[in-house]
Amino acid sequence: MERNLNKEEAIKKYKELVEDIKICMFISSTEETQSARPMMTIRVDDDGTTWFFTSHESGKVQEVEMDHTVRLLYAHPGKSSYMDVWGYAEIVTDKDKMHELWNPVVKAWFPDGVDDPNLCLLKIEPQLGHYWDNESGKMVQFMKILTSAATGKQVSQGVQGTWKP
């Protein structure tokens, strides 16, 4: 079933999936190449703004400075939930914002905390996304597959659609 989402409904679905999945493949690019790396999402604000901590010396920061368009790919195969997000990225060095977003997990990558001189934030403003979500549990999905196999009718494929904040 296709269900396209807009505004508040889109942001709600986005937040729900991101908060459940947390880790995405963060894709940035230059004129010559694209780079993908796993990143932990720190927070999604009520307006959809998405935050990541990173080092100002990382390649992704240099790529974002050249091209602000990024792509975030979230996947939770165990729940059959997936999302592909296109957004506008900017580098933020505001220490107050870093203190606001800081959590103990981030210390694993940045042991000096907010005082690390290379620490910065990536602020992503989502522009467009596509999601695929199996809104029933694994057991229900398994029963649908068994029923489909027995009846020869195509299994329900869950919900999918585009969303735009």
% of the chain with per-residue pLDDT over 90: 58
For 53-93, write each residue's pLDDT tens digit: 999 999 999 999 999 999 999 998 888 888 899 999 999 99
Q: How many CB atoms lie within 10 A of CB 61?
A: 17
* Separation between Cα atoms, residue 160 and residue 140, nearest integer Å: 18
Contacts of 160 (CB under 8 A, 6+ apart): 1, 2, 3, 130, 131, 132, 133
At 126-154, the pLDDT tens digits run: 998 888 877 544 434 443 343 344 445 54
Which of 74, 69, 64 lies closest to 23 in space, CA to CA? Answer: 74
- By mean pLDDT, which of 6-15, 76-85, 93-102 is the weakest? 6-15
The predicted pLDDT at position 77 comes to: 83
Average pLDDT over residues 28-41: 90
Q: Does pTM surpass 0.85?
A: no
Read off the pLDDT band of 12 (50, 70, 90).
confident
Q: Which residue has the higher pLDDT, 41 or 150?
A: 41
